Copies of this chain bind each other. A is one copy, B any other.
Amino acid sequence: MTKYSKQSRFLVAVDCIVFGFDGETLKLLLIKRSFNPEKDKWSLMGGFVQASESLDQAANRILKQLTGLEGVYLEQMYSFGETNRDPIERTISVSYFALVDIHKYEKQISTDFHAEWVPLKRIPKLIFDHQDMVELAKKSIRYKAALHPILFELLPSRFTLPQLQTLYESVFNTSIDKRNFSKRVLATGLLIKLNDKDKAGSKRGAYYYQLNMQKYYANFQAFINIIPNPDSLQN
């Protein structure tokens, strides 16, 4: 058998949009690019796919190399292939979004790497078409989170209902009645109430919950209904 000799070959990159939540604000993990072109400009986590690795492997490797993050929720999003998106040489980028517990990585990241958590509302100008990727990622996590319980990936293993509600409210940029919210969330059966409380946010303290991992994995593809009206997903 022969090779496909007449065809063009291209650089293939992976770019990761990494979301984190600090209890108040949704943030993205950005880095100052360490190489040309666009050295020192803000950029998503990205890198080239190597000959020996699959796309998923590349995404995991890049995330680990640039941030130390490992074993986080990572999902392929979309492939960007405009011919001139990288001015140096045509590069096709396969984008991924990641959801991480910001607390696990906050210090590690900013000291070991030139990476920084930036509030979603204050994203600076990014290189290439990374802005488009961010926009699409915002839409994608809303879309997915409206139907599947992915947002738990952004929280520590023990969390309170007020924290969870704040998270949903920031992702969907809306406010939700707390009585209705807790009813809906608890009705999923995904949460286990613990006996101790988080006293950080208030005097009375809020009960900790943790995920029922059995149900979580079993129901991951099931539809949940936490957000009042999914019409808010329109744009």
Contacts of A83 in B (CB 8 A): 51-54
* Neighbour of A223 across the interface among B9, B10, B36, B230, CB < 8 A: B230
Given contacts A76-B79, A234-B221, contact A88 B4 (CB under 8 A): yes
Asked if residues A1 and B51 are in contact (CB atoms below 8 Å), the reply is: no
Given A2-B36, A81-B54, A222-B234, decide whether A49 and B89 contact each other with a Cβ distance below 8 A. Answer: no
A11-B7, A223-B230, A231-B223 known; A94 vs B81 contact (CB < 8 Å) = yes
Contacts of A12 in B (CB 8 A): 9-10, 12, 81, 92
- The CA-CA distance from A165 to B50 in the complex, in Å, is 48
Closest chain B residue to A5 by CB distance? B89
Closest to A230 in B: B223
Task: Convert A1-36 into 0s and 1s, putting 1 for each residue whose CB lies closer than 8 angstroms to a CB of B.
Answer: 111100111111000000000000000000000001
* Interface: A82 (CB within 8 A): yes
The 22 listed contacts between A and B (C-beta, < 8 Å) are A1-B36, A1-B88, A3-B89, A4-B11, A4-B48, A4-B88, A4-B89, A7-B11, A8-B11, A10-B51, A51-B90, A52-B83, A53-B83, A54-B82, A55-B79, A55-B92, A76-B79, A79-B79, A79-B94, A81-B94, A92-B94, A223-B231
4 closest cross-chain pairs (CB), A and B: A55-B81, A9-B9, A8-B51, A7-B48
Extra contacts besides A55-B79, A81-B94 (10): CB < 8 Å: A1-B37, A2-B88, A8-B50, A9-B10, A54-B81, A54-B83, A79-B79, A79-B94, A92-B94, A221-B235
